[in-house]
Every structure is written in C-alpha cells, then in structure tokens.
Amino acid sequence: MGEKTEKLLSILTLQPVVPVLIVDDVKSAVLLARALVAGGLKAIEITMRTSAALDAVRAVADEVEGAEVGAGTILNAAHWDAAIAAGSRFIVSPGATQELLDAARSSSVPLLPGAATASEVMALREEGYQVLKFFPAEQAGGAAYLKALSSPFAGTVFCPTGGISLKNAMDYLSLPNVICVGGSWVAPKELIAAGDWAGITKLASEAAALKG
C-alpha cells in the first residue's frame, strides 16, 4: 500500500483545493480543465454522475497538459474498471465497500476512500489506508469533528469534501490532519454555461493560493 499512498499524496499535495466537477459534455470538460490547470489546480476530480463523465475523464487525460484527472463517485468494481480504462490517475469514493476495496487492491491506481465516522476510519486503517476522504464534511460534523479525530488517529490525513466553500475552506486547511479539501465552488455552473474560462481560472488561482 505504501507505493500507492505515495502516488496519491503526490497528487493531492499539488494544491490545497481539488475541484470536484459534474460535467455534462466532453467539450466543456476539456476547456474547464484547461482553465483550472491555468489557475494552478492540476488535480481534478470528475464525478461519475452524468452520462458524459467517463468520456470527459478520457478527454481530459488525453488532451489537457498538466492535468491529473481522477474519477469520483465510484461505487463498485464495475465503476472502478470503467474509470481506470478511461485514464483515471486516481479514484475517489464517497464511502467504502469490500467489493471496492478488493478492486483497488489489485490495481496500481490509488483509491481515496470516503469515511464519516471513527469506525469507518478504523476499518480503512486496518486495510492499510492512510489518506481518506472525509465526506460529507459539513453535514458529518465539520472541521470541529475532523479536528477531534486527529489525536486518536495520528498518521491518518483527510481530504474533506461536501459543503466546503471559499468561506470555510481555511477552517479545514488549518487542521493538522487535512492535506487538501475538495470543492465545486471553483467551477460554478453559471460560468461554465457562459464559457467564462477566464473567470474560472481566476477562482482557481484564489483557491490555489490558500495556505493551511
């Protein structure tokens, strides 16, 4: 697990904020990813919540220089295989099942599994995971809850996602057990619809400048 943990850390430490994207068409995904990379956000998570998602992962992996694209909302082994085939450099899941962990075990691509309770953290630690997604962050107890986990789970670091914005990102990034945060605010639907890629690059630059 050590080599995959290092690979995941090398991606998540590229920036303080990982954009979490829901994309509806491939063309805009490529332009969006280029705008985010231009602003300093190279690691990008495309969630498998639309019919265009897999093609978007493939296009960003093939066409966007500097991007480290991952697939999110991976729920089972079939999702895993499809996301890997599309070119995902990392995989993100909202939780963890034995089926998903088994798929991850036999792959060289790292998994960022989700956890929201102490028991879930313990179970994933037993599987060898040191880097976890804390989801849904705000709804599950927020920065105060995550801070409380830092002492009993020393050595485990988190990427909190869910309800995080520019306003509260620093509440998380200032914690010793947070490596980065996931957020969708850097790619607002209205800017994507308007094709305002410069506006998205500006938001990405602001996010990239956040310091923990």
Residues marked active site are found at: 45, 133
Q: Would residue 22 count as lying in a domain?
A: yes
Q: Would residue 212 count as lying in a domain?
A: no
Q: Would residue 44 count as lying in a domain?
A: yes
Residue 1 has pLDDT above 60, yes or no: no
Longest dimension (CA), the chain: 47
Q: Which residues contact 148 (CB under 8 A, 6 or more apart)?
A: none
Of the pLDDT bands very low, low, confident and very high (cuts 50, 70, 90), residue 212 is low
In angstroms, the CA 159 to CA 136 distance is 11
Q: What is the pLDDT of residues 151-167, one digit of tens each?
A: 999 999 999 999 999 99
- The rounded mean pLDDT for the chain is 97
DSSP-derived 3-state class of residue 144: helix
Contact (Cβ atoms closer than 8 angstroms) between residue 47 and residue 22: yes
- Other CB atoms within 10 A of residue 106 CB: 8
In angstroms, the CA 186 to CA 80 distance is 26
By CB neighbour count within 10 A (0-12 exposed, 13-18 middle, 19+ buried), where does 74 fall?
A: buried
Contact (Cβ atoms closer than 8 angstroms) between residue 53 and residue 80: no
Q: Would residue 149 count as lying in a domain?
A: yes
Task: Please tell me the pTM assigned to this model.
Answer: 0.97
Of the pLDDT bands very low, low, confident and very high (cuts 50, 70, 90), residue 32 is very high
Q: Residue 207: its pLDDT value, please?
A: 98
Q: Would residue 208 count as lying in a domain?
A: no
Q: Would residue 46 count as lying in a domain?
A: yes
Domain at 143, CATH number: 3.20.20.70
Of the pLDDT bands very low, low, confident and very high (cuts 50, 70, 90), residue 211 is confident
Q: What is the pLDDT of residues 56-109, one digit of tens each?
A: 999 999 999 999 999 999 999 999 999 999 999 999 999 999 999 999 999 999
Q: Would residue 193 count as lying in a domain?
A: yes
Domain coverage including residue 17: 2-202
Mean pLDDT of 49-62: 98
In angstroms, the CA 105 to CA 31 distance is 33
Task: Name the β-bridge partners of 85.
Answer: none
For CA atoms 41, 10, 172, 29, the dihedral sign is positive
Give the phi and the psi of residue 110 in degrees, each rounded to 5: -75, 150
Contact (Cβ atoms closer than 8 angstroms) between residue 179 and residue 208: no
- Split into its structural domains, the chain has a count of 1
Contact (Cβ atoms closer than 8 angstroms) between residue 113 and residue 96: yes
Contact (Cβ atoms closer than 8 angstroms) between residue 181 and residue 45: no
Q: Which residues contact 202 (CB under 8 A, 6 or more apart)?
A: 39
Question: Containing H/E element for 8?
Answer: helix 2-12
Q: Would residue 38 count as lying in a domain?
A: yes
